[in-house]
Chains A and B, each alone.
Chain A
Amino acid sequence: MSKAIIAPLPGVFYRRPSPDQPEYVREGDQVNPGDIVGLIEIMKTFYELKAEESGVVAGFLVNNEDIVDAGQEIALLK
């Protein structure tokens, strides 16, 4: 059974804290509640998108720097 991590707000999605740093998490990584999986930039603010449950990252449904909607599924956990 897979669980989705949802964007709570619209903006530009980033998988890395900054362009020269590694991605927060990758496919196959274990995440726990509170772990950051990406950033959403809106109104010059970076919102930390966090996992709310534990699981293994099955995959991302959006690309780095895509514009995402509020309520859009960003990643799946299994």
Chain B
Amino acid sequence: MIKVLKPGLQTTVQDQGRLGLYEIGMPPSGAMDQFALRVGNMIVGNHPNAAVLEITYIGPELIFEKDTQISLTGGLIPPKINGVPVPMWETLAVKAGDVLSFDFVKSGARIYLAVEGGIDVPLVMNSRSTYTLIGIGGFEGRALAEGDVLATGDLHERKVAAGTRIEESLIPTFGRSHEIRVIVGLCSYRLTEESKRIFLETEWTVTPEANRIGYRHKGQRLQFVEREQPFGAGSNPSNVTDLGYPIGSIQVPDGVEPIVLLHDAVTGGGYATVATVISTDLNRMGQIKTNEKVKFVSVGLEEALQIRKENQLVLNKIAENIASR
């Protein structure tokens, strides 16, 4: 059992997500940084889909009510146990009565707490992820609040020795400027050639509207190709006949501010989508803070699949690292 002394800014239970439900309008939810989720679970010997706590910007204060092992992965929000700094990306043993707290965020935006066995909340449509918009999944469908008590589950698969740490070179770091790789496509035919170029050349600034639903960016105005409005599309040049929005897709309502749709986004609507963040870089997207810089870099499908393979190789290497201990 883990008791919430202070909830932090927005701490939610997340796993790999509620997949396969776009058809009914349900977004995937799940951890914004799936790499950190995956590694966090490895370090405590959990099943890859065990639920963890996703902690954003300001950490909670939690008290452990029994001895267990934990890990902290993702962005650098320096963790402390009983007020003493502890390392991230390492198997940590905690004792009953230990208090976990956090310093102010140093880099990245989200840190993940994995606990042996996973956070135990009811499965809703095969996932423990919180989707706050309609209040399902996670802990009572909402972010944690003071006084909540979390149970741990039975998704523990193997014992990992305390002190097991992954190689420094495999740990991602996060600066303040980010290159996010995208595949240009979907309805990019709506943008003028010049605006496609501007979209890729601009250094965008992340606005305060940046959360699990999406990230909105400020920079340049984009223009759409003139047209006769197709029936049902809507009158704004950025409108299309309502269609599905892939996770990571980027739309530019009225050409003003590109929005990258993320894990809790709406699943469809009437804005032209012009590019999609590749699956590997969604993890990095989730570690970007308001006011940081983003450049969208165009890649082809084969390159995206190659990047995906390399990411998988890093995960395999980490798994070997841990198994060899």
Contacts and interface: CB of A to CB of B under 8 A. Distances in A.
Direct contact of A and B (CB under 8 A): yes
Nearest to A68: B291
B130 interface: no
Interface in B26-84: 56-58
Instruction: Tell me what chain B mostly uses at the interface: helix, strand, loop, or mixed.
Output: loop
Nearest to A9: B57
A6 B104 contact: yes
B9 A47 contact: yes
Interface in A52-78: 67-71
A38 interface: no
Interface of B: 9-10, 56-58, 104-106, 207-208, 210-211, 289-291
Contact of B10 (A6, A43, A68): A43
Contacts of B9: 9, 42-43, 45, 47
Interface in A7-47: 8-12, 41-45, 47
B241 to A, nearest CB: 30
A42 B289 CA distance: 10
B76 to A, nearest CB: 11
Contact of B104 (A9, A12, A43): A9
Contact of B58 (A9, A12, A44, A69): A9
Given A9-B57, A42-B57, A42-B208, A71 B290 contact: no
Contacts of B289: 10, 69-70
Contacts of A11: 208, 290
Contacts of B290: 10-11, 42, 67
A70 B104 contact: yes
Contacts of B207: 67
Contacts of B104: 6, 8-9, 70-71
B12 to A, nearest CB: 11
Given A70-B105, A71-B104, A10 B58 contact: no
